[in-house]
Copies of this chain bind each other. A is one copy, B any other.
Amino acid sequence: MGIVERRERLKKQVRSDIIKTAREIAREDGWQAVSIRKIADVIEYSPPILYEYFESKDKLLETIRAEGFTFLREEFERIKNLYRNAEKQLAEVAQSIWNFAMSQPEVFQVMFNLEGAYCQSKQVYVQEMNILGNPVWEMIAFLRPKAGEMVTKTYYEWWCLTFGFISITITTQPHYALRHAEPVYMEGVRRFIRSIK
């Protein structure tokens, strides 16, 4: 039955088109400008069709948010396998978060509800704070072999330092100041790594 498969493929295509279009509009004009009708216009369907792919606008944003965290998680795994030194690993992780936030700011915004992006579901955070099989948690544990609870605390500090620094930078700094902020960010991260070693 090639017909059913073709339809499956088309469904997947439309779904990813919706996500792509939402991100494009957000990137261009901010998340405030993203509306179901505008997305529908671009993908050349009527607005109700979108609800066959996403239960609500909130669920669409949740999907984009989850994709962002998945992308980062894969980056962290890659880095963990690439370097032996935990200090080097963490510095690379910090750098990869920065690069991600600068190259896909609209995703970073929806990941942390910044700049008008708003997704209610906090489920992804719980998942991401989980320490089981968490590459960054393991890097910190390796760097400073202490009690697990201590590591978890340091991991939370790391989480807030990296994502927080970038969040505030994106929100408060003008576009041209961003490249200026990068070395300050990396320096702060390195100081943090040294101070917990």
A residues near B (Cβ < 8 Å) are 32, 112-116, 118, 122, 125, 129, 153, 156-157, 159-161, 163-169, 171-174, 181, 184-185, 187-188, 191-192, 194-196
Query: By the criterion CB–CB under 8 Å, are A165 and B172 in contact?
Result: no
Q: How many copies does the complex hold?
A: 2
Query: By the criterion CB–CB under 8 Å, are A174 and B122 in contact?
Result: yes
Neighbour of A157 across the interface among B116, B159, B173, B188, CB < 8 A: B188
Residues of B within 8 A of A165 (CB): 157, 160-161, 164
Query: By the criterion CB–CB under 8 Å, are A115 and B116 in contact?
Result: no
Residues of B within 8 A of A160 (CB): 164-165, 168-169, 185, 188
Q: What CA separation (Å) do A192 and B181 show in the bound complex?
A: 18
13 A-B pairs within 8 Å (CB atoms) are namely: A112-B168, A113-B171, A122-B172, A129-B172, A157-B165, A157-B184, A160-B185, A161-B161, A161-B164, A161-B165, A163-B168, A167-B168, A192-B195
Q: What CA separation (Å) do A169 and B129 show in the bound complex?
A: 12
Query: By the criterion CB–CB under 8 Å, are B195 and A191 in contact?
Result: yes
Q: What CA separation (Å) do A155 and B191 show in the bound complex?
A: 15
Q: Which 3 pairs between the two chains have the least Cβ-Cβ distance? A: A164-B164, A116-B118, A125-B172
Query: By the criterion CB–CB under 8 Å, are A181 and B164 in contact?
Result: no
Query: By the criterion CB–CB under 8 Å, are B114 and A114 in contact?
Result: yes
Taking A112-B172, A167-B167 as known contacts, 13 extra A-B pairs with beta carbons closer than 8 A to each other, sorted by chain A number, are A32-B118, A112-B168, A113-B116, A156-B181, A156-B184, A157-B165, A157-B187, A159-B172, A160-B165, A164-B164, A164-B168, A167-B168, A192-B192
